[in-house]
Amino acid sequence: MPRLKQGLVVAGLIIALDQLSKYAVTQTFMLGDYVTVTSFFDLVRAHNTGAAFSLFADQAGWQRAFFISTALIASAIIIHLLRRESGSVLFKLALSLILGGALGNLIDRILHGYVVDFLSFHIQQHYWPAFNVADSAITIGALLLVWDSLKKPRKP
């Protein structure tokens, strides 16, 4: 059970950072407002009703229930995996990051019907889709899962 507690603490920290940063953005910016921070990075307020990279954002509304359901199912599976004694520390950290990110975005979807994004990177006029702390945690967690799987010894 200690690994579960540690995982939930990590997930809780991600949720707190995510929600605090989104709160600061929504209190400071109107939708569409932005501030140029560097030549390649802006802070912006964007609302995403879709998935990563605004996938399905232009749909009629079915995606909200779908993404809420998906996040709840994924979170239950991750908590189940965190409860198991097997798995490396890296594996558990990765799952915890993904859990925190999924729940951070889930909170937005339930409260607002969209996810607040605010980190915007670009090269000249070519912009990467805006994202947030939760998205970053999910991405880092997924990369750590890949890394962990590559570190495992191969069976002959």
Which residues are catalytically annotated? 117, 135
Strand order through the sheet with 34-38: 34-38, 41-48, 115-123, 126-127
- Provide the CB-side half-sphere exposure for 22 (13 A, CA): 28
User: Which tokens in the block code for residue 54?
Assistant: 């605004």
Give the SS3 label for residue 154.
coil
Distances in Å between the alpha carbon of 21 and those of 3, 27, 42, 86, 145?
A: 27, 10, 15, 34, 26
CB contact at 8 A, 45 and 27: no
